[in-house]
Structure 1
């Protein structure tokens, strides 16, 4: 829980921090939890042991764990109250709780007044689960008041509305189920199969078509899931033109239903992020600027600070990857220089892989501008992080790129040490790839220091290793970030 608390406090905006402090001032007791809040907020370290030690110096009589539990609850309460004020979905859930509370206290009329006020909001927002709960609460009220003031015809009509909502909910659930199974199969089965991809998914496609052709009313959520299913499917089977069309239709759906977006519109953000990631994967970089601009349009003042920061960091990542593909290194450097240092700092709400990719592309831009010291600064910032997932391809890319950088900086002592360390780290199940062996050979032989005739001999000797390098999918993924093979060829020119 302590790690979650640290991440939660680091995600707070200045306004949210002020609000928490204002609420704490109203209390009279010793505020050990405020001291802990300040320690977490001001510390550069995210290690709970260090923060706990500092807390015990200030509050030796208090339990750090108990204080952390109370602080977590206090911060969460502040954030929930903010969401109730700003987000219609939270207003609905809060209102349902109030209505249920009044009902338990036998204040049936007050409960019914609350329910009737919430029903139009739920219908407008197309929140099917909440609409059903409210409709069920309305029917419960009629039953508990012995159906006073309501005839049978109206009662049956309201019961039918509840049944229709359940049908729509089932329809939505079926869409969710198919989309989830599709993602699971593509993420687990197709990684092991290089042929027959379309056959593996045929049953899902037929089921999805059956749902779409069902006479049930199609709400926003079901339409969104249908388009997500299609875009995911078309991308993975290689039908990129159909996938692109679906991307644009999906974005249009979100834009046309702007009033229904929650605050912040995290679903729309996730959709744009998924589209851009897919475009990057299939190398349709020309289409990326349109969706990057849509992402930047989500950076609006009425959205929370943490969300706006998340949007800016994500858009920056895709911009730098776009410049990298086009080899527009000067534009990439201009973008890096115009971005505050906080834009590259670690952020608890950004995915670890995205943060690593952002730092890598910044390093890559400086590398191509021949500023190896700045490139190394970014790579070191990444490799020294304790939270890195060492099993992910981006970690191997960064370590191998680090070796390339030190080769360009002519640091043979470090290279000898790092290559030995690299080999020790990636052994057994994580055995070295032919590409890595080839790069190590190039670095060790140092062709840039050799006469031309000797390099010609080495080129012939390295032919078998060169032919083997880059032949497996894992290596192709590594070279998606940096063309190590092309770099090696340049060393012989």
Structure 2
């Protein structure tokens, strides 16, 4: 599990899981919900780390059944159950496991049948919408996503944006991405005019970094070069200099600063792209961004056609 590419926080998380697993093995309360949950989390994390996704998915199913069988009439454990489903879906999105995603999205719909607070119901609906749009974008028929947007309840998008700003930002991102995939850059940019995004531009969570990069990409596609150059300078300044940019960010900024018609003849950029592709992203920001949008694939399309 532990390798040189792990960040300090990831190493701590790995070690905590291992210690918890060892404690569970010798603990008299190993049949408790918390103990079994930690056991399955350890297994799923381990299988994912060695790229054994079939085994990881089996563990996800077992983890789901563990919670599903323990939701009582007074909804005990339902918040933990939602959190677990959300985490599983996030992992599946990263690996583009569309069939399995559908299975766990259906479990979210079941949660809506319970008597729960409105804010929690809206949060579940936001999560369903994120995963539905992701599924439709992965189906290579972006028009399905656009059709889904026309039927998406306004309350799902607009209500309770600050209860979970990360979830709200993911929702807005997938709405913008759906418009972009349907060749509507203007509407995609308009999506990010939402106040809740602008208020938190300095947040370092990967989804905000992804949104910032994607917004720059949209301005590049819209040929809004004046705004683009200004925002790139802001991005670099907040990253505290060029040296703190990831390799993918450096590649994107080089593309953004090059006239579009010159890209496919630019040997320097193609060489830089080859270097980026040869080195698997090991920065957490890059790994998490890839879950939402693969900027390297976009760059490859621009440079190689």
**TM-score bracket for the superposition, by shorter chain length:** 0.7 to 0.9
What residue is the counterpart of 2:257 in the other structure?
Answer: 444
- Alignment of 1:251 with 2:67, yes or no, is no
Q: Cα 1:225–1:371, aligned 2, differ >3 Å: closer, same or farther?
A: same
Task: Indicate the structure whose relative CO is greater, using CA pairs within 8 Å and at least 6 residues apart.
Answer: 2
What residue ranges of structure 1 are gaps of 5+ in the alignment?
1-184
- Check conservation: 1:264, 1:307, Cα contact below 8 A: no
TM-score where L is the length of structure 1: 0.53
CA distance in 2, matches of 1:430, 1:339: 42
- Alignment of 1:477 with 2:288, yes or no, is yes
- Check conservation: 2:89, 2:101, Cα contact below 8 A: yes
- Check conservation: 1:434, 1:468, Cα contact below 8 A: no
Report deviation, 1:393: 2.1
- Alignment of 1:208 with 2:21, yes or no, is no
Question: Per the alignment, in what secondary structure is the counterpart of residue 445 of structure 1?
Answer: coil
Q: Cα 1:308–1:191, aligned 2, differ >3 Å: closer, same or farther?
A: same
* Greater Cα shift, 410-419 or 348-357: 348-357
- Check conservation: 1:285, 1:322, Cα contact below 8 A: yes
- Check conservation: 1:324, 1:361, Cα contact below 8 A: no
Report deviation, 1:455: 4.1
CA distance in 2, matches of 1:219, 1:208: 10
What residue is the counterpart of 1:315 in the other structure?
Answer: 128
- Alignment of 1:291 with 2:107, yes or no, is no
- Check conservation: 1:272, 1:295, Cα contact below 8 A: yes
- Check conservation: 1:198, 1:237, Cα contact below 8 A: no
Question: Which of 146, 149, 153 matches 1:340?
Answer: 153
- Across the aligned residues of Structure 1 and Structure 2, the Cα RMSD in angstroms comes to 3.4
What residue is the counterpart of 2:188 in the other structure?
Answer: 375
CA distance in 1, matches of 2:10, 2:71: 40
Larger radius of gyration: 1
CA distance in 1, matches of 2:227, 2:198: 20
- Alignment of 1:387 with 2:200, yes or no, is yes
Question: Per the alignment, in what secondary structure is the counterpart of residue 241 of structure 1?
Answer: helix
Report deviation, 1:483: 2.4
Q: Cα 1:388–1:298, aligned 2, differ >3 Å: closer, same or farther?
A: farther
Report deviation, 1:371: 0.7
Report deviation, 1:437: 2.4
Aligned length: 297
Q: How does 1:93-112 map to 2 (within 5 A)?
A: none
